[in-house]
Structure 1
């Protein structure tokens, strides 16, 4: 269990005392507390020997066991070159690189270069793009570097990523930097547990809400104390109870067992990055967490978002943003005062947070805000908000698949429509290609595009929060063609039984690939039939997130799909091969939310 931090301990400058919690720990130089950062005066870089980065045409990585210390405890990690996070790899657009990976484990391993456009045989997904790196053996990845930006790398074998097998990767542009800066820091977010990931999975399969210690009580609902997130009508309470669903079930794994880390440091260890007042400081923020979506803010400082998933966007001024697993955002801040600021990463369910300090000097400590009230799910997160229910065909609902005998059949929604007989598993609403088996316990009756929303719990925070509709590519989209067809993919699951899938079929069930013709222009619509946010990642490609900026849609490789919502993206299938397509919540992927995207023909093959 994550220790409850004494607020006085966090706020009192005990920097020396807090630092002692991390004594004896090994960090790459870039991840050590008190770092001056990686770059100064725009294109000038601090020498790699100082920052501990790996660069050049030949890079050597060694995967092995290592101890990991945080919060006064020691656990077992799967580390690269002995550190968690792994070394920072820094490349330059246009170069060729060879990455020599030695596996010292007694099990297979792999490295996936997340967001990098590489030949499919170099993508690093065992059983799909290559056999994997066998125990006590080596493998060399080799590919041209054809892009720039902030990316990362991690294992695609078993659950090694949860155990520390991840690190940052930065590629400098061949031409001028479109968002100049004076200094930069890499910030890698992650979640750490001293429990083996398979135990996490076993507990969730036994009880879907095992780690949720924030369940609502009737008294809590009645005494919401003016918190709009807690307010719930009598009809809604009856409905949630009848469906045996918990509106506080936001994250599968919470701070009940997780310690949230910044560059490998827990909140009490207070990683500190330095700056000089007046500088433009670029923060390269990577969510390498296995199961945690974070809300990011720096109280007292505006952030200018200048890149999403590595690619430049028109700058957007915000006070907060939600970052899904495997997403990256680059922001520029410009602190002008000689004071410390807290970089705050709060779990989406608000069961815990971690923080770092940005300051002119070591020993300074930023103020740590308290956890905000927990968010709760609403009718909108079921894909059937009250406005959308007005047109529902209640006579078409299946009445037999869930036990609703306890439902208050006289209950009505705020719009006056009876909830009598309503059920969450009306499989008649699903298209024919979706398998409506026991792995589907919910169907979104009225899924809507939620890309204009900031993410769960951030609707009423009183300041500017980033939405996907705020993002606009800095350069025109490279393929102006209209899509020739639409592919609809449903995100499906059974929360109580911890079953996750695409289109109702787990990957282990031998599901057919999603097939694209090479260079085909296709529109993909993701429909979330669950009440959880899913960060969905496509390997080998960038897609254009359809958000209203026609011709300048942001190009991403990972997108958060909000509960009961849908996301549309346009894709040019220009990378031949077999590619992974999956939810980046690691336990969801492991449980079956994974498909193969097959792009054909390959070179030399006929059509």
Structure 2
């Protein structure tokens, strides 16, 4: 097996007093661009050293301040083997606290790397050693859990080779780290979001845009919502990266025709969900979130923030463009797969931007007439009569509306008493439905195959066959205009009660998205079975994207004692309050407290 990805320099040597020295560039991030310095191998072995420090990052002809590990962005690939022990010595050269969370790794909770939950953090100009046995194989990543450092470049990939035979053999691999970069300081970004809802949305609906009817425009206006408000932060400030390269820099991965090439795709973005495809080259998905799945062939997939997908492709003797569009289609990044340096393929133009519709408002249950988003600029709502007699009886129609839907996302009586209703909750999905089998927003009617969670089947079934002993509902709540986000209307830093589970308890978690935003929800230290109801089995994941106005359920075995972070992996949503702690304790009576 060979690794042919390489990487250009991103650190100005003079910034750290290293003028004249040749800096290392990790071999996993190799590019076909000419004139680059030699590469260095991934970090491996039982003792690994990482240094967190300030640096300068170049992209698109501009330079900005970054936080890097070992002087590169993304951080170096860490390559481990299942069954080994590892000690990771992390030096913090910043003038502020830092941390590293090993995303998706099963380890003791005090090695998980979340300040204030599992350890105190790494103080400035000090070193902390993480030490744990490597209990798994697959594609993972690591990143800061301190402040907003992740947005500034503090993230990198992890590949763990299996102790035995590889279930999905391949001849060559490339690690593909997708991310978003802004030259704004992240505190400025969140300040803009809080100051004005949709600040970065440059594609707002206007009085004459699209084919939306006047009635629909008035309806959206009454709700104080914008059907184009799909991504909080857009290409108006973001440059989207592949392995630290912008789209104009064209990162290139080489292959030999006839090889089976494994692409280990990691979404290390702060805020960007990507729709990824390689025109004319089918992808066979063999792993999701580091867990092997039964091979399934597709043409496009959506990868939410913090998810990973491993795919195998069999390219011919030609170049291919890997294109990753932001979910709102305000921008894209691209890379090239080619048998020889200098080859390129056409870069597809951005597709028509999608808009939100009935399902995204939590009004799209069976029989709603809106199984798909497409049709009109407003998501296919034009001319639809949603206010049945049943809906009117439920209070979902305005008085005297004569069977016209009132779209009562403002009806806060629809939530249970467990949800704290206040200024931080400005929308409630009246009829949320399970959307784990839905094609993602904007991909409902494309003519090619699109991956959904329902197509994922575990190669090895989840070991715990017990049915859940109880069920917990968690509402994903927010105020989009004021950029307030929470679970059950309660921010973690404002006294939200922890989620308490008994050790080895089997529990079903129901995530109910009361907002019109996607939320990738991640639990630390555990994998769960995503409940899809498919006969081939439920996929095993650590992160699930909950679609707007939708629901997703997973079955969790609380087999790791300790305190574990549980949060939306959209960085600014987590920072704004959509986070909690799962406390797992052994109890004599087997109950939870």
Structures share a fold, TM > 0.5? yes
Aligned to 1:184: 173
**The residue matched to 1:239 in structure 2 has which SS?**
helix
Is the deviation greater in 165-174 or in 51-60?
51-60
Match of 1:267 among 239, 247, 250: 247
Match of 1:419 among 383, 397, 405: 405
Separation (CA, whole Å) in 2 of partners of 1:410 and 1:271: 59
Mapping of residues 121-160 of structure 1, within 5 Å: 121-160=110-149
1:565 aligns with 2:550: yes
Q: Could you tell me how far 1:218 is from its partner in structure 2?
A: 2.8
**The residue matched to 1:259 in structure 2 has which SS?**
strand
**The residue matched to 1:167 in structure 2 has which SS?**
strand
Deviations 1:533-566 (A, max 9, x none): 0000000000000112357311000010000000
Q: Could you tell me how far 1:397 is from its partner in structure 2?
A: 4.4
**The residue matched to 2:208 in structure 1 has which SS?**
helix
1:294 aligns with 2:274: yes
Deviations 1:397-432 (A, max 9, x none): 499xxxxxxx9x8777xxxx3235x53221211111
Aligned to 2:152: 163
Q: Could you tell me how far 1:221 is from its partner in structure 2?
A: 2.2
Aligned to 1:404: none
Q: Does the C-alpha gap of structure 1 residues 29 and 597 become closer, same or farther in structure 2, counting only changes over 3 Å? A: same
Deviations 1:314-344 (A, max 9, x none): 11110000000000000000012x2110000
Separation (CA, whole Å) in 2 of partners of 1:32 and 1:410: 65
Aligned to 2:318: 339
Separation (CA, whole Å) in 2 of partners of 1:482 and 1:264: 44
Is contact 1:294–1:324 with CA below 8 Å preserved after alignment?
Answer: yes
Give the total of aligned pairs. 553
Is contact 1:110–1:124 with CA below 8 Å preserved after alignment?
Answer: yes
1:280 aligns with 2:260: yes
Aligned to 1:249: 229
Aligned to 2:455: 470
Aligned to 2:379: none
1:100 aligns with 2:100: no
Q: Could you tell me how far 1:194 is from its partner in structure 2?
A: 0.3
Separation (CA, whole Å) in 1 of partners of 2:534 and 2:108: 30
Is contact 2:254–2:339 with CA below 8 Å preserved after alignment?
Answer: yes
Is the deviation greater in 85-94 or in 432-441?
432-441
Separation (CA, whole Å) in 2 of partners of 1:520 and 1:137: 38
**The residue matched to 1:118 in structure 2 has which SS?**
coil
Deviations 1:253-308 (A, max 9, x none): 00000000000000000000000111100000000000000000000100000000
Match of 2:106 among 87, 104, 117: 117
- After TM superposition, the score normalised by the length of structure 1 is 0.88
**The residue matched to 1:581 in structure 2 has which SS?**
strand
Match of 1:348 among 321, 327, 352: 327
Is contact 1:543–1:572 with CA below 8 Å preserved after alignment?
Answer: yes
Match of 2:305 among 322, 325, 339: 325
Separation (CA, whole Å) in 2 of partners of 1:561 and 1:321: 15
Gapped runs of 5+ residues in structure 2?
1-7, 14-22, 369-385
Separation (CA, whole Å) in 2 of partners of 1:316 and 1:22: 40
Aligned to 2:435: 450
Match of 1:579 among 560, 564, 571: 564
Q: Could you tell me how far 1:50 is from its partner in structure 2?
A: 6.2
Aligned to 1:370: 349
Match of 2:484 among 499, 508, 528: 499
Is contact 1:547–1:553 with CA below 8 Å preserved after alignment?
Answer: yes
Aligned to 1:39: none
Aligned to 1:15: none
Gapped runs of 5+ residues in structure 1?
1-18, 36-48, 223-231, 400-406
Is contact 1:21–1:71 with CA below 8 Å preserved after alignment?
Answer: no
Separation (CA, whole Å) in 2 of partners of 1:268 and 1:602: 57
Q: Does the C-alpha gap of structure 1 residues 125 and 298 become closer, same or farther in structure 2, counting only changes over 3 Å? A: same
Is contact 1:294–1:347 with CA below 8 Å preserved after alignment?
Answer: yes
Aligned to 1:4: none
Match of 1:552 among 510, 534, 537: 537
